[in-house]
Amino acid sequence: MTDTPVAEMTFEQAMAELEKVVSALERGDVALDQSITLYERGAELKKRCEAKLKEAEEKVAAITFDADGAPTGTTPVEGL
């Protein structure tokens, strides 16, 4: 696990760490206190991944197309 704040992670970094957290929890070879800490970190990582995916979906949804279906640009998306 890294000490990088979750809010500063890219989607890929958060997903990779989330996979490590899940793996550690599934093995069941960590102490209860560490399991709780891992679970909390995992919840933060999951939330970060969901937010980054939503952001990407909104950007893709903002792409505009011409009559032939070719991308012509993007429309402004509120909040981005």
pLDDT of residue 66: 75
Dist. CA 62–CA 53, nearest whole Å: 14
pLDDT of residue 72: 77
pLDDT of residue 78: 55
How high is the mean pLDDT in each 10-residue block of the chain (80 residues)?
89 96 94 96 97 89 76 63
Dist. CA 24–CA 35, nearest whole Å: 8
Alpha helices in the chain (DSSP H): 11-27, 32-61
Q: What is the pTM of this model?
A: 0.76
pLDDT of residue 65: 76
- List, as own/partner pairs, every contact residues 28-32 make where C-beta atoms lie below 8 angstroms and the sequence separation is at least 24, other chains included: none
Question: Which domains does the chain possess?
Answer: 6-73 (1.10.287.1040)
Contact call for residues 2 and 41 (beta carbons, < 8 A): no
